């Protein structure tokens, strides 16, 4: 797949077409993606329970998902979830 990118003036444009590389280890990210989906669904369930009890959502599902994700990431080790390993900034 060939991708043409537009570059602003002053930036050097690489020679030749830019190609998207397929990551052969893309399957390694599957556990992390499934964990994100599970956390999202659990947060939505918690919000539905909260609405059923209180009548309105005092804490939205997005906030619940963020708090749950932080708690899970803090409690787990990167050996347990290799796709969630810490990557140094580029």
3, β-bridge pairs? 18
18, β-bridge pairs? 3
Q: Which residue has the higher pLDDT, 86 or 69?
A: 69
pTM of the prediction? 0.61
Q: What is the mean pLDDT of residues 74-89?
A: 63
Tens digits of per-residue pLDDT, 11-22?
665 566 655 556
Residue 87 has pLDDT above 80, yes or no: no
Using CA atoms, how far apart are residues 57 and 75, in angstroms rounded to an integer?
A: 27
The count of other CB atoms within 10 Å of the CB of residue 68 is 16
The radius of gyration of the chain from alpha carbons, rounded to an integer in Å, stands at: 20
**Residue spans per domain, the chain:** 28-90
Tens digits of per-residue pLDDT, 24-81?
666 777 777 888 899 999 999 999 999 999 999 899 999 999 999 999 888 876 665 6
The count of other CB atoms within 10 Å of the CB of residue 43 is 21
């Amino acid at each position: 797949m060939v991708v043409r990118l537009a570059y602003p003036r002053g930036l050097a444009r690489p020679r030749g077409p830019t190609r998207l590389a397929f990551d052969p280890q893309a399957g390694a990210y599957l556990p992390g993606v499934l964990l994100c989906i599970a956390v999202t669904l659990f947060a939505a369930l918690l919000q539905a329970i909260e609405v059923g009890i209180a009548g309105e959502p005092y804490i939205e599902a997005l906030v619940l998902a963020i708090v749950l994700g932080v708690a899970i990431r803090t409690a787990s080790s990167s050996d347990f979830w290799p796709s969630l390993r810490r990557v140094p900034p580029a």
